[in-house]
Structure 1
């Protein structure tokens, strides 16, 4: 059996030290096969926040793949336009890293952009280049077992207090379903969710993780534990007591 820990929205700079310690203790005890982090490692994309996040992730001592969140892009226009992802240097080898494990493949999908034609740039967007890159990685995979896509913003809205309003999300989700993707892992809304949609003649699951920061919404700090065995996946939300 493969066990994945799906965690999101750490928000270093507004992190919850107790929640981070709780999660790290569970990692040390249970040794998951992979930790999938679906974005917003930082609060304001400051170098010190990235360094703190990098130190914490390295200390977990487990394989990790990291997605980029909207809070991880610089606030100032010059840095945002010239090097929007440059401050991830401390985590470069972990960012948008496809991962193959027995019976499951994890593929990244970028849902952030340095610029959008709307006022609220915190919301999601899937560009043609982004979805085509992800589909290319899916086609290059072995095709054996489950295929999971990891991104920051939910591609469509769920029953959560916060929204993603991801432009291009519906079309991207249909393309992923057609490509044989089994589930999409995301964050951003700070509350866990798990829903299924029927698209392209098959069922695709949308699974959201909560937050380990002080910026909680309707639920306490939490993460998802995914158990994968013989083509089946069970998702358990684990909330901090």
Structure 2
């Protein structure tokens, strides 16, 4: 059995300290095999926010892998956003898209953030052809003997939550991932948890979204997902802070 804690949208700079402490206590008490963070470590991509996020993640004492969220790109500096968008990620660089040695489980990264888009709202998702190609290659490498979880920030299709992702290229990406043998896509961004099965060409792929541990809640209280993989099956439990 492999047990994972899937968390998202920590938003250091607008974090909920009591929710973070609650989650950290559960990690200490229950010792999951790994923690998967699907983006938005920070609120405004400030160095001090990344430093606080790095210290907190290190304090968990468990293997951690992190995806990049739209809030983790420079917000006030358009030049930095275009030419060095991930420079401030240095304090957690060793965790970004970090491969994890998990029994029977492969976590495959898929970048859905973009430094520039041909639309006004750059916070929404985008799957580029190159990012999808890399993810599909990794899925193919592991699909025969692993449960394959694809981790990205934006939901690939709309999950029916109050917030939206409007991910360009998301629907064909989901189709391709399902056909390639991925079992689930783990995301964040919308700040409310969800778990929905989609059936594509005879295959079933789960879309699993984590809530937030920040003050920026939507319809649900601060939460994270507990994911248990055993014998090829995948069980998800949304866990909410009181």
Deviation at 1:102, TM superposition (A): 1.2
Q: What residue number does 2:8 align with? A: 8
Following the alignment from structure 1 to structure 2, what is the Cα–Cα distance between the partners of residues 137 and 89?
25
Following the alignment from structure 1 to structure 2, what is the Cα–Cα distance between the partners of residues 100 and 156?
29
The Cα offsets for residues 61-117 of structure 1, whole Å up to 9 and x where unpaired, read as 000000000000001111101111111111111101233411211110000010000
Q: What residue number does 1:140 align with? A: 141
The answer to whether structure 1 residue 70 and structure 2 residue 70 are counterparts is yes
Q: Which runs of 5+ in 2 are unaligned?
A: none
Following the alignment from structure 1 to structure 2, what is the Cα–Cα distance between the partners of residues 233 and 141?
16
The Cα offsets for residues 97-152 of structure 1, whole Å up to 9 and x where unpaired, read as 23341121111000001000000000000000110111122223362131000000
Following the alignment from structure 1 to structure 2, what is the Cα–Cα distance between the partners of residues 166 and 201?
24
Alignment of 1:1-241 (within 5 A): 1-75=1-75, 76-141=77-142, 143-241=144-242
The Cα offsets for residues 16-48 of structure 1, whole Å up to 9 and x where unpaired, read as 000000000000000000100000000000000
How many residues matched?
A: 241
Secondary structure of the residue aligned to 2:142 is: coil
Following the alignment from structure 1 to structure 2, what is the Cα–Cα distance between the partners of residues 184 and 42?
22
Indicate the RMSD between aligned Cα atoms, in angstroms: 0.9
Deviation at 1:233, TM superposition (A): 1.0
Deviation at 1:171, TM superposition (A): 0.6
Any conservation in 1 of the 2:63–2:100 contact (CA below 8 Å)?
no
TM-score (norm 1): 0.98
The Cα offsets for residues 180-212 of structure 1, whole Å up to 9 and x where unpaired, read as 000000000000000011112211000000000
Following the alignment from structure 2 to structure 1, what is the Cα–Cα distance between the partners of residues 101 and 228?
15
Following the alignment from structure 2 to structure 1, what is the Cα–Cα distance between the partners of residues 170 and 100?
23
